[in-house]
Structure 1
Amino acid sequence: MKSTIVIIGGGVGGLGILNSLSTTINPKKHAVILIDTRPAYVHLISSLRLVVSNTDNLITRSVHPFGDHTFLKRLKGVGTFIQASVSEIKFSDDGRGGMVILDGGKTVAYDVLVLATGSTLPHPIAFPTKSTEVIEEYVKARQEEFASATDILLVGGGPVGIELAGELRDVFPSKSITILHRSSLLLNPVYPDRFRVAIQQQLEDRHITVLTGDSITLSATSMDQVPKDGFVTDKGRTLKPDLVIPTWGMRPNTAYLPSDLLSPTGHVKILPTFQLVAHPDVFAIGDIIDWDERKNASKIVHAHAPKTAQNVLLYLHLMASRESAKYKGSTEMIMISDGKLCTSGMGYLDILWGIIINGWISSFSSRDLAVSRLPRFTGYTPV
């Protein structure tokens, strides 16, 4: 009888571990099921460029439908994709298998479960889940929204706000663009002040206004329609944009899990093997794990996924080695794009004294945003 590996989440974490398993797993002995709320993989690295304009036909090149092609190498033709939302997990008492409960009541049994459900995403990259056609409609609506605005306020100066500002400036050189950030410096304090100051200078060099140490209170109403008199910030500034975009608010997608498995922030508590403490047959990777690091695609694909895959195989007794792969964290790094047309942008690598990667290097990745490498990752070749 086949054992079943169920992967919940088809983002970089889910596909990363799926691809890692595809080189080793025996499809005659093991079935693999991928579950995701969306019908397609949406390349989040290029998503901010995508919602600003359809340059380079990104809508086709960045949205890859799931299907038989998703299951590569040894899993080719034998994997199963299910588009559904997960409402609950029924864990077994002895740590040997369980049941995934889908919205609507259908169930999927598992012997090994991998949780890779990622984070909720802020507008404008909170892509819908119904179909690829609905995703395309959403993208076109966002493009029209930006095109019709003359004064754009981005609330939040993290990577999303910074990169969105750069993409907007590429396409709309004369629009007023403002970033409003609560802290005194952009980004997160995990990065050195000199890097955060340099990022702000690059934005200002492109005539993007940066207001730090200040904030406004946003409600669902004010996001849909800017108040007639504009916004008054905590410092008393009056801002009158015709479009306001909150770029913060990413939270782990873990509402389907019981609270005793979660940290106070909603992240999944794990062992260094990526296994849940009380459930050795359940693994978690990516944005949802309770690990003191800044999550990014590179860490998830190159560190989380292969180590988790190794431990899944070990759990299934498919490896000669009895040594678990333990995660000890990854080097902190970040690459900030400043749009495709600009030769700036900047990166930071936390090695030695802390290396700042200047624009002429980071601009190489900004031009393509890894879109050309996607078919090797998703198994899908755009027509």
Structure 2
Amino acid sequence: MAKTIVILGASYAGLIVAHKLLKHSLKTAKEELKVVVVSPTTHHYWNLASVRAIIPGQIPDEKVFSSIPDGLAQYKESAVFVLGTATGVDIPSKTVLIKTPSGEQKQAYDILVIATGCRSDDDAPWKSSLSGYEATKAALHKTQEHVKAAKTIVVGGAGPTGVESAAEIGFEYGKNKEVTLITAGSQLLTGVPPSVATFADNELKKLHVNVIKDTKIISSTSTTEGKTELALSNGEKMVVDLYLPTIGVIPNSEFLPKSLLDDKGNVMVDQYLKVKGAEDIWAAGDITDCQPAQYIYCEKQAGALARNLDLVLSGKEPVVYKTDGAPIMGVSLGRSRATGRFGNMKMPSLVIWFVKGRTLGVQNMPGLVSGASA
């Protein structure tokens, strides 16, 4: 009888694990394998490029959306795609409850992989919508229309998404629109070396983006004229055509027992990426508590998890996933500049631009979804 591995989530981590298992472990495992991929969307969304995709005409839909079932079809009966959302996990019976378009169903597992990631705390298209592909695409198109029509735009938050989206808007429209980035922090990209923050600050100014620091956006309210009124912590109010919040993500973990989660809702994993307090359950990506929610860590975790599952399926012991390396971050600043860090060292703009900012990685999506890069 086949051993069933259920993977919840088909974004970056989920797809990497699925394809590596199907391409490699399928041949070396002691038992026959079946991989069941559960996802609320039929299409992977390359949201790393969302900051540029919100600019009308810059990135076509086919460069940021790709069919997940089509990528799994090559494995025939060894891979099963389930369109649905996990609503519960019964650990003793090793069963997942899944809400599908045709109703609730139960899915048994021998090994469970949690790769459900997180979602945006707003309607902006920074993450894939739990309502599926069409909803995500609609949100992206709606934002494109608003960006094009707006004369005054405020981006809230100065993390990587906020800085990158403000830079993209400034690059395209800085001379014709009033673009403002507001952050509660005293510098951009909190936690990075001052040289990186200063470089980003200077580049945004060149792109005609006004940066307001040490100011929190307390609330946002729609006006009868279709604008947005922002109440700021300094007592001022701003009325703008478009407000794009980039602060706050919510882990997609509501379906899991509270005992498996930390106080932020992230899944707690051990040094092997096994979920603490649960037998035969593993996790990787933005849903875990072991590293920041960044693509570079997501990719590393997924690769490590796939290797450990391969070892376990072959009757061997898993190996430790190390999280003590130097912090890494790359931030695009429009379509010609970038900045980033490796530890406490500022990376050259040209290097980060070439690796990330030039294309925002859209050329890698076909390989991810088809498994060619596994």
Equivalent position of 1:81 in the other structure:
81
* Distance in structure 1 (CA, Å) of the matches to 2:358 and 2:42: 27
Deviation, 1:183, is 1.1
Equivalent position of 1:90 in the other structure:
90
Q: Is 1:325 the counterpart of 2:319 in the alignment?
A: yes
Equivalent position of 2:351 in the other structure:
361
Equivalent position of 1:348 in the other structure:
341
TM-score (norm 1): 0.87
Deviation, 1:188, is 2.4
* Distance in structure 2 (CA, Å) of the matches to 1:179 and 1:80: 44
Deviation, 1:337, is 0.7
Equivalent position of 2:3 in the other structure:
3
SS of the counterpart of 2:321?
A: coil
Q: Is the 8 A contact 1:254 1:266 kept in 2?
A: yes
Deviations 1:110-146 (A, max 9, x none): 0000000101124321444555444433322111111
Q: 1:284 to 1:380 in 2, by over 3 A?
A: closer
SS of the counterpart of 2:34?
A: strand
Letter in 1 for 2:197: R
Equivalent position of 2:95 in the other structure:
99
Gaps of 5+ in 2: none
Counterpart selection for 2:57 from 54, 59, 72: 54
User: Which segment is superposed worse, 44-53 or 216-225?
Assistant: 216-225
Deviation, 1:259, is 1.1
* Distance in structure 1 (CA, Å) of the matches to 2:241 and 2:219: 14
How is 1:9-24 mapped onto 2 (pairs within 5 angstroms)?
A: 9-24=9-24
Equivalent position of 1:295 in the other structure:
293
* Distance in structure 2 (CA, Å) of the matches to 1:98 and 1:17: 20
User: Which segment is superposed worse, 125-134 or 105-114?
Assistant: 125-134
User: Which segment is superposed worse, 38-47 or 327-336?
Assistant: 327-336
Letter in 2 for 1:348: R
Equivalent position of 2:158 in the other structure:
157
* Distance in structure 2 (CA, Å) of the matches to 1:224 and 1:86: 40
Q: Is the 8 A contact 2:157 2:184 kept in 1?
A: yes
Q: 1:134 to 1:119 in 2, by over 3 A?
A: closer
Letter in 2 for 1:328: K
Q: 1:372 to 1:324 in 2, by over 3 A?
A: same
Q: Is the 8 A contact 1:275 1:283 kept in 2?
A: yes
* Distance in structure 1 (CA, Å) of the matches to 2:129 and 2:264: 24
SS of the counterpart of 1:263?
A: coil
SS of the counterpart of 2:188?
A: coil
* Distance in structure 2 (CA, Å) of the matches to 1:170 and 1:178: 13
Q: 1:220 to 1:263 in 2, by over 3 A?
A: farther
Deviation, 1:24, is 1.9
Letter in 2 for 1:368: T
Deviation, 1:323, is 3.5
* Distance in structure 2 (CA, Å) of the matches to 1:254 and 1:128: 15
* Distance in structure 2 (CA, Å) of the matches to 1:88 and 1:357: 43
Q: 1:131 to 1:307 in 2, by over 3 A?
A: closer
Q: Is 1:338 the counterpart of 2:301 in the alignment?
A: no
Q: Is the 8 A contact 1:223 1:244 kept in 2?
A: no
* Distance in structure 2 (CA, Å) of the matches to 1:119 and 1:372: 23
Deviation, 1:50, is 1.4
Q: 1:239 to 1:83 in 2, by over 3 A?
A: same
Letter in 2 for 1:172: Y
Q: 1:283 to 1:235 in 2, by over 3 A?
A: same
Q: 1:349 to 1:224 in 2, by over 3 A?
A: farther
* Distance in structure 2 (CA, Å) of the matches to 1:42 and 1:114: 20
Deviation, 1:185, is 1.0
* Distance in structure 2 (CA, Å) of the matches to 1:158 and 1:281: 35
Deviations 1:240-295 (A, max 9, x none): 3121111111121111111111111111111111111222300011111112x323
Deviation, 1:187, is 1.6
* Distance in structure 2 (CA, Å) of the matches to 1:223 and 1:80: 48
Gaps of 5+ in 1: none
Q: Which one has a larger percent strand, Structure 1 or Structure 2?
A: 2
* Distance in structure 2 (CA, Å) of the matches to 1:267 and 1:366: 29
How is 1:76-155 mapped onto 2 (pairs within 5 angstroms)?
A: 78-92=78-92, 98-103=94-99, 104-121=103-120, 122-125=122-125, 126-130=127-131, 132-155=133-156
Equivalent position of 1:196 in the other structure:
197
Letter in 2 for 1:277: K
Deviations 1:292-345 (A, max 9, x none): x323212221x21122122223333x15xx3421112043111101122xx221
Q: Is the 8 A contact 2:53 2:59 kept in 1?
A: no
TM-score (norm 2): 0.89
Q: Is the 8 A contact 1:294 1:332 kept in 2?
A: no
Deviation, 1:56, is 4.3
Q: Is 1:304 the counterpart of 2:301 in the alignment?
A: yes
* Distance in structure 2 (CA, Å) of the matches to 1:8 and 1:165: 33
Equivalent position of 2:269 in the other structure:
270
SS of the counterpart of 1:360?
A: helix
User: Which segment is superposed worse, 369-378 or 29-38?
Assistant: 369-378
Equivalent position of 2:244 in the other structure:
245
Equivalent position of 1:213 in the other structure:
214
Equivalent position of 2:187 in the other structure:
185
Counterpart selection for 1:41 from 40, 44, 53: 44
How many pairs does the alignment contain?
361
Q: 1:218 to 1:238 in 2, by over 3 A?
A: closer
